[in-house]
């Protein structure tokens, strides 16, 4: 596919015989937890911007531009920088709400956990159908997510038993793996599965994730349009875009 945006869907399809592994992002791909995260980010920045007189007000456009797909603290840093606001980095042990990048990130994390505990999460039916079909056909699978809540979400969605390989925000921090749009976490997942990147598929709903798949030289990058827009995913690096993963069955 060309590097420029494409008006029409490229003539690319998923052929299971060409690939040995499929690497899934979590939020927005397997589970609708992107809405949980959007709600938590909105609550964090709407309140913080209003309290400190920061303009313009936070909007969902900020989520897609500065937060979507990024590690949590990077999302805080990027969104604040978009308003020319720069806080001390702080430490991951900062109490939620501490006026540091980590403190604000931890406040957002606390809200995500509250929502998950009270409301739960149901996976996308089409995603689970395709996932189970892949597993039944012998394709290896992994989850690659910048979220530190990945294992909590997988357990809440009853998907944990399907994935032996999980590269999440906790592991990325421990192993100093750069987050998306760098490809390192996806490359590590492929390595864990024993599959070369050219025989692996990346599935992403975020622009930063699609860019990571492109940068890593993966055999196929599938975009799932949950709101960011098909053209944006194609421009970032997706080879094809679907609205539901059941379309690939």
Measured from the Cβ of residue 9, the count of other Cβ atoms closer than 10 Å reads 11
- Told to judge if 27 belongs to the known catalytic residues of this protein, a careful annotator would answer yes
User: Is the CB of residue 150 less than 8 Å from the CB of residue 166?
Assistant: yes
Say if CB 140 and CB 21 are below 8 A apart. Answer: yes
| Sign of the torsion formed by the C-alpha atoms of 173, 179, 182 and 188 | positive
Write down the catalytic residue from 25, 109, 205, 225: 25
Instruction: Kindly calculate the radius of gyration of the chain based on its CA atoms and give it in whole angstroms.
Output: 18
Using the 8-state DSSP alphabet, how is residue 31 labeled? B
Helix (H, G, I), strand (E, B) or coil at 47: helix
User: Do residues 148 and 56 lie in contact, with contact meaning Cβ atoms separated by under 8 Å?
Assistant: no
Taking every pair of Cα atoms in the chain, the longest distance, rounded to a whole number of angstroms, is: 55
> In sequence order, which ranges of the chain are alpha helices (DSSP H)?
33-52, 60-62, 72-81, 101-119, 125-136, 150-156, 169-174, 184-193, 207-215, 230-236
Q: How far apart are CA 236 and CA 238, in angstroms?
A: 6
Residue of 3, 8, 20, 27 marked active site: 27
Q: What amino acid positions are annotated as catalytic residues?
A: 25, 27
């Amino acid at each position: 596919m060309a590097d420029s945006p494409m008006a029409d869907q490229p003539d690319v399809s998923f052929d299971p015989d060409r690939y040995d592994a499929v690497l899934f992002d979590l939020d927005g791909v397997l589970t609708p937890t992107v809405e949980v995260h959007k709600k938590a980010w909105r609550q964090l920045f709407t309140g913080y911007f209003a309290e400190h007189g920061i303009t313009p007000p936070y909007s969902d456009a900020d989520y897609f531009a500065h937060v979507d797909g990024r590690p949590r603290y990077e999302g805080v840093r990027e969104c604040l920088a978009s308003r020319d606001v720069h806080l001390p980095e702080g430490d991951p042990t900062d109490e939620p709400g501490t006026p540091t990048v980590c403190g604000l990130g931890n406040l957002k994390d606390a809200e995500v956990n509250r929502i998950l505990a009270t409301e739960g999460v149901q996976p996308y039916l089409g995603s689970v159908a395709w996932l189970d079909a892949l597993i039944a056909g012998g394709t290896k699978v992994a989850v690659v997510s910048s979220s530190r809540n990945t294992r909590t979400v997988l357990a809440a969605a009853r998907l944990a038993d399907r994935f032996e390989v999980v590269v999440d925000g906790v592991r990325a921090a421990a192993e100093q793996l750069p987050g998306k749009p760098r490809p390192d976490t996806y490359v590590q997942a492929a390595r864990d599965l024993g599959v070369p990147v050219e025989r692996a598929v990346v599935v992403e709903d975020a622009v930063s994730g699609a860019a990571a798949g492109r940068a890593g030289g993966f055999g196929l990058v599938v975009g799932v349009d949950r709101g960011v827009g098909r053209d944006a995913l194609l421009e970032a690096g997706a080879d094809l875009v679907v609205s539901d993963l059941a379309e690939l069955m």
